[in-house]
Homo-oligomer: A and B are copies of this chain.
Amino acid sequence: MNYCSQCGNAVNLEIPPQDNKPRHVCSHCGAIHYQNPKPVVGCLPELDGRLLLCRRAIEPRYGLWTLPAGFMETGETVQAGAARETLEESGATVEVNHLYAMFSLPHVSQIYLLFRSRVIAQDTLPGNESLEIGFFNEKDLPWSNLAFPVIRETLWLYWRDYAHGAFNLHTGNIIRTSGQLRRYRVHLYS
């Protein structure tokens, strides 16, 4: 951020009075531009014991598989956003059920909120975000071609819970470790 989105003048990084973190503050109108993590909302769409995954047609991770999920929009609810992203990316209309996974990704300032859901209608694949979709059980799932660590962890938890016949909310953090290699550490809360 270089310029004030309200008046167009230059911003400076400084700690405002009664604050303890540097913010972008306008040199002219004094507006303080806070930045906040972004919610990513999506679904684990279930149909006959299988889960719907989408193969990405966009960067990052073009060509890899993921659960339907994306950035929540202003003015919508979490559950409505999860259903919207699922329809946009997969053509599936879902009934959104319980929250299944909440993960913080502090290295990119994102929160993932993923819901169990039931596929109630399936259109032909719409839009331009996915190359194809597929319904997978645990064995068929493209485990070595998944797009994101948070998706791999969520799917792993899901099939473990599926085997036990009991699904609970899981919360945790995906931490990018230091170093040049893109590696991640998963921390689950009990």
Contact = CB atoms under 8 A, between A and B. Distances in A.
Contact of A77 (B18, B35, B104): B104
Interface stretch (A36-44, A46-54, A136-144): A36-44
A171 interface: yes
Nearest to A175: B77
A12 interface: no
Contacts of A134: none
Interface in A66-125: 71-79, 98-99, 102, 104, 106-107, 109, 111, 113
Copies of this chain present in the complex amount to 2
A24 B8 CA distance: 14
A21 interface: yes
Nearest to A2: B6
The prevalent SS among residues of A at the interface is loop
A78 B171 contact: yes
B77 A36 contact: no
Contacts of A171: 78-79, 99
Interface residues on A, range: 35 or more
Given A36-B39, A36-B71, A38-B36, A106 B3 contact: no
A95 to B, nearest CB: 11
A147 B74 CA distance: 23
Contacts of A127: 18
Given A74-B37, A75-B109, A7 B2 contact: yes
Interface of A: 1-11, 18, 21, 24, 33-39, 71-79, 98-99, 102, 104, 106-107, 109, 111, 113, 127-128, 169, 171, 173, 189
